[in-house]
Every structure is written in C-alpha cells, then in structure tokens.
Amino acid sequence: MFTFSPLRQEDLPFLLSVRNECRDFLHDDREFTLAESEAWFRETKPTFHVIEHGRERIGYFRLSNHDVRARSIYVGADLHASFRGRGLGRAAYEAFLPLVKQWYDLAAVKLEVLSHNDVALGLYRKLGFVEIERKVGAALRAGRLVDSIVMVKTL
C-alpha cells in the first residue's frame, strides 16, 4: 500500500538524504545542505510528494513543467537506497501515475533520465515510456559526457 503526501518542510532532511545520495544520476549533481534546501523550498514551493510504503518513507516523486495545452507534466522519482531493487519503484509509479492523471487531467507524462542510468531506463521502458528526444552530452559524469533522454508515456 502506497500513500503520497505533499512535501512539507519537516520532510526536507529525508528528501535531502535521498537526493544527495543518488545525485550522480540527477541532472543537477550538486550536493545541497539543509539550509539550502529550506531556502529552495520556501522560494520555489516545489510540487513534490513523499512516497510512503506502509508506514515507511521510501522516496519522493517530483512534478514539473505542467503543460495545460499539451495535457502533460514531467515526473521523476528517487528512492532511498535501502528500498531500491525490490520492485517498489515500479509499483509506486503504477500507483502514482493514475492519481497525477486525475489531478491534472493529463494525456501524457514525460521525464528525462541520464543515459548512464541503466536501472532507471529499464524501469521506464517496463512502465511504457518511449524515447522521444536525446540531448547529446548533456551532463558530465565520471569524466565522460552522458546524454539526457526525454521519454513519454501516454496515459
């Protein structure tokens, strides 16, 4: 059983621990402090949802770039390291996407993933996302340029 709660300021230490641990797979790989995260939260009022499985926080979803005309939105998720590899990411997406479709009256969801993130690419393909664009050399990781892959899933 999954629940998805809007991110609150008191969730920021959890979000930060997850985000900073997996930053090599994020487009912005900077490490942030709690003070920086608190300022970001106050200034941007992001659309993030904490993922709970049972009574444990396991990660978060982030939503951005809502396009009313195209009826699309960007989605992304990060899971705490101790919950990866157990099928929870896929199950969380399968539970979350119908809610997002309903909340925003969507026809499609999009995402971007770095090309060296093979696990995420496999997950997104299993969920029905297809590549629609490739931004060559979008990020530098471990001394080499990696692409950013834009994917879409019709709802």
Residues in the chain: 155
Residue 24, token pair as written in the block: 């090599």
What pLDDT, in 10s, does the model give residues 105-119?
A: 999 999 999 999 999
pLDDT at 65: 97
Predicted confidence band of residue 98 (pLDDT cuts 50, 70, 90): very high
What pLDDT, in 10s, does the model give residues 7-45?
A: 999 999 999 999 999 999 999 999 999 999 999 999 999
Give the pLDDT mean for 77-93. 96
Taking all residues of the chain, what is their mean pLDDT, rounded to a whole number? 96
pLDDT at 152: 98
- Domains of the chain (ranges; CATH) run 2-154 (3.40.630.30)
In sequence order, the 6+-apart residues with CB closer than 8 A to the CB of 18 are: 59, 60, 78, 79, 80, 81
Euclidean distance between CA atoms 121 and 152, whole angstroms: 12
pLDDT at 30: 92
